[in-house]
Structure 1
Amino acid sequence: MVAAAVTDTEGKPAAAWGAVLSMALCVAMLIASEFMPVSLLTPMAEGLHATEGQTGQAISISGLFAVAASMVITTAAGTLNRKWVLVAMTAFMLLSLILVAAAPNFAVLMIGRALLGICIGGFWSLATAVIMRLVPESDVPRALALMYGGQAIAAAFAAPVGSYLGGLFGWRAVFWALTPIVTVNLVWHLIALPSLPARQRQDFRTMVDLLKRPYFLRGLIAAMLSWGSAFTMFTYLRPFLEQVTRVDVTVLSILLLVLGCAGFVGTWASGRFVSGNVAPLLRLPALFMGGCTLGLLLLGGSVIATALFLTVWGAMNTAMSVIWMTWMSQNVDDAPEAAGSLMVAAIQTSILLGAVIGGLLLDSMTISATFIGSVALAGVGIALIGNGRRLLKPLSSRQGG
């Protein structure tokens, strides 16, 4: 099978929307695979004879390996065609799901989750750079929104369906159910993705040079704080809903569905309105999601209030990815793969630390302490971002590029 280059007859970039859709499905499966333990945390802990805090580390271990993979994948891949790197990452995801579903003990579960981390780090470090090659520059925000639509789909259906089916058939059946979808996605990659030869060999010096740019380093730290705040809360959302809101598995599934469906609103809005100057938008995720977490702390005993806060949180969760990746594509367009590696490493580190710190707070104190930690991280992030202008590439550099 010979894939065509992503150009039209005049040599200009032509949008390969089929490939974008294939990547959107991969995103949906990655998000579903990575965060399915959130909706199945309690039964998984019982089945593996572990605490909820320990089982939450199934997310942190995938984050740890994602950080490592994101830092080395673009250099280790060398001059390999990026299409085949993405195909390999999807194959790793399939193997991971099989290991998790069949895990006889906690150790095998963690091995499967570590393999998933490699897939997460490898895919996300290349994803934005690949999107920038699949569509013309003017369509990049829309293509990113479409790709992150997979995140909205996973958020809308994976958690509530996983929670519900887990209650009926057991948590292992939920992971087995994902394997045929990932198999289809693997075949779709082979058909839809065009040949994507490496444009230049990446090395760690490129990443170091990027970190020397003050605006990029500030943005990287701000992104870490935004995601860290989000996942300190989200990883332990189920225990909060069970202990504070006091819902049963049916209401729990409905609330997770509400949160997920709100992600479609966030995806639609980000695809429509995220363009041009993103500076004013950068603080919105931490502001709104941190505010919703604070609202849950104050009014989480009410199912209606909880549903409203989760609706806003879910919409901003999907918009956050589009906002920050659009920022990256606009301000580090001269080294997108290296920037993507650093962004993924930063985000996954924040998810890892959020799961670890949140779990420690949950096990040693209370679920409220976990949510207070989330709000504190959001506050620091908002303060760092300010009006967003210090996170933009200097005007002289933009004109020179």
Structure 2
Amino acid sequence: MTAAALAIEENRPTAAWGAVMSMALCVAMLIASEFMPVSLLTPMAHGLGATEGQTGQAISVSGLFAVAASLLITTAAGTLNRKWVLVATTALMLLSLVLVAAAPSFAVLMIGRALLGICIGGFWSLATAVIMRLVPQDDVPKALALMFGGQAIAGAFAAPIGSYLGGLFGWREVFWALTPIVAINLVWHVVALPSLPTAQKQDVRTMLGLLKRPYFRRGLIACMLSWGSAFTMFTYLRPFLEQVTGVGVTGLSILLLILGCAGFLGTWAADRLLTGNVAPFLKLPALVMGGATIGLLLLGFSVIAAALFMAIWGAMNTMFSVIWMTWMSRNADDAPEAAGSLMVAAIQTSILLGAVMGGMLLDSLSIQATFIGSIVLAAAAILLIGNGRKMLKPE
């Protein structure tokens, strides 16, 4: 082991839970910023003179730039201290929110969303690798569950509050309201994150090496299908609830609150269930969330049924992230940053394609066609995953 590597080992904290909490808040703000257009899709479209399908591309463009950033960040960052890379990505999120809130046109909105995509790609590429350095190995699933608790918080409060406040004050004010929270998070990062020097620069060869491993390649494709299914549906959930369930702004806010609060159950379950073999859990997201989408398609005209299926979807949504990032941490532990880059690229590509495909189906056919597309992708994921054993590193 080199002297630099030994220095990193000596400086590694036993368990920096304050830093984990800071990252959890950053996750909450990233999720809120990335998917806020879902709850504000209709008023944003009207305010910018665009269709709902076009405005849905505000999510896909952030995904496009997140893909590029995720593949480049670990190489571009070189041996820079990872603490300051995370601080820089959070500052970029703050700038993005200001641009979106003040956007005088659809083009400026898309520029702001592109900057957010760079932040998303940069943060998520490093997040799991950083968590693996902040806590002992046995505590990694717990720390991941805690970090993704930020996702549950964003899911529980960002969308319903965003929808409600957007109806009262306007969609721009919702984005302005996020900026002071992100500013606080920026300061918290500086204070709480320990120094995270890296002695080795990741490069493209490391990523290609991972892709040559059949189990990792299969898992990556399955992950993409699962995420693509989820966000083909989720991006266009508001038009479905308005057109099929027939709810107004208040009803929409309540249903989104139910979906989000159910996410806390998913985080709680992930913390307790992911202690052993992860293989049996890999197909659960596509199976459960795909099943919930079928339920909405068949019974979504009922508010009570819609609430039930959205709660099921929301609970699995937060567990989803912990399951797949735990899989990554255990099956690519020799190259966590490169694996993180590939995982983020795969997930963001899926979100991008899901938003594009869902928007095309919505504009050209119907909202029901969008949900059917989501179900088809979930079925493909389930078939590929099987019992999950072919996606585990050989012992």
User: Which TM class, normalised by the smaller chain length?
Assistant: over 0.9
Post-superposition Cα deviations, 1:368-390, rounded to whole Å, max 9, x if no partner, equal: 00000000000000000000000
CA deviations 1:250-283 (Å, max 9, x no partner) are: 0100000000000000001101111221000000
Report the TM-score when normalising by structure 1: 0.96
Q: Do the aligned partners of residues 263 and 27 (structure 1) sit closer, same or farther apart at CA in structure 2, a change above 3 Å counting?
A: same
CA contact (8 A) 1:6 1:194 kept: no
Distance in 1 (CA, whole Å) between partners of 2:288 and 2:112 is 34
The one-character-per-residue Cα deviations of 1:305-328 (angstroms, maximum 9, x if unpaired) are 010000010000000000000000
Identity of aligned residues (%): 81
Q: Distance in 2 between matches of 1:15 and 1:262?
A: 28
Determine the C-alpha separation between the residues in 1 that align with 2:294 and 2:185: 38
1: CA distance between counterparts of 2:346 and 2:117? 14
| SS of residue in 2 equivalent to 1:352 | helix
CA drift of 1:200 comes to 1.0
Q: Which residue of 1 aligns with 2:124?
A: 124
Cα distance in 2, alignment partners of residues 274 and 173 from structure 1: 39
1:47-95 CA distance string (max 9 Å, x none) = 0000000000000000000000000000000010000000000000000
Alpha-carbon contact 2:216-2:391 (below 8 Å) kept: yes
Matches within 5 A, 1:120-269: 120-269=120-269
The 8 Å contact of residues 6 and 14 in structure 1, kept in 2 or not, is answered as no
Structure 1 residues 25-36: aligned runs within 5 Å: 25-36=25-36
Indicate the RMSD between aligned Cα atoms, in angstroms. Answer: 1.1
**Secondary structure in 2 matching 1:306:** helix
Alignment coverage as a number of residue pairs: 389
**Retained in 1: the 8 A contact 2:8–2:197?**
no
Q: Which residue of 2 aligns with 1:382?
A: 382
Residues of 2 paired with 1:197 and 1:153: CA distance?
Answer: 30
Q: Give unpaired runs (5+ residues) of structure 1.
A: 396-401
In the TM superposition, 1:363-378 aligns within 5 A as 363-378=363-378
Q: Deviations over 1:319-358 (max 9, x none)?
A: 0000000000001000000000000000000000000000
| Residues in 1 aligned to 2:19 and 2:187: alpha-carbon distance in whole angstroms | 12
Contact 1:6-1:16 at 8 Å conserved across structures: no
Determine if contact 2:8/2:198 at 8 Å carries over to the other structure: no
TM-score, normalised by the number of residues in structure 2: 0.97
Secondary structure at 1:394 match in 2: coil
2: CA distance, partners of 1:12 / 1:192: 14
1:141 is displaced (CA, Å) by 0.1
Change in Cα spacing, 1:40 to 1:12, as seen in structure 2 (3 Å) is closer
Name the residue aligned to 1:337: 337
More off after superposition, 13-22 vs 343-352: 13-22
Tell me the distance in 1 between the aligned counterparts of 2:115 and 2:123.
13
**Pairwise CA distance, 1:199:** 3.2
Structure 2 unaligned regions, length at least 5: 1-6
Deviation at residue 124 of structure 1 after TM alignment? 0.1
Which position in structure 1 is the counterpart of 2:4? none
1:348 is matched with 348
Shift of 1:12: 7.4
What is residue 399 of structure 1 aligned with on the other side?
none
Distance between the aligned counterparts of 1:390 and 1:224, measured in 2? Answer: 16
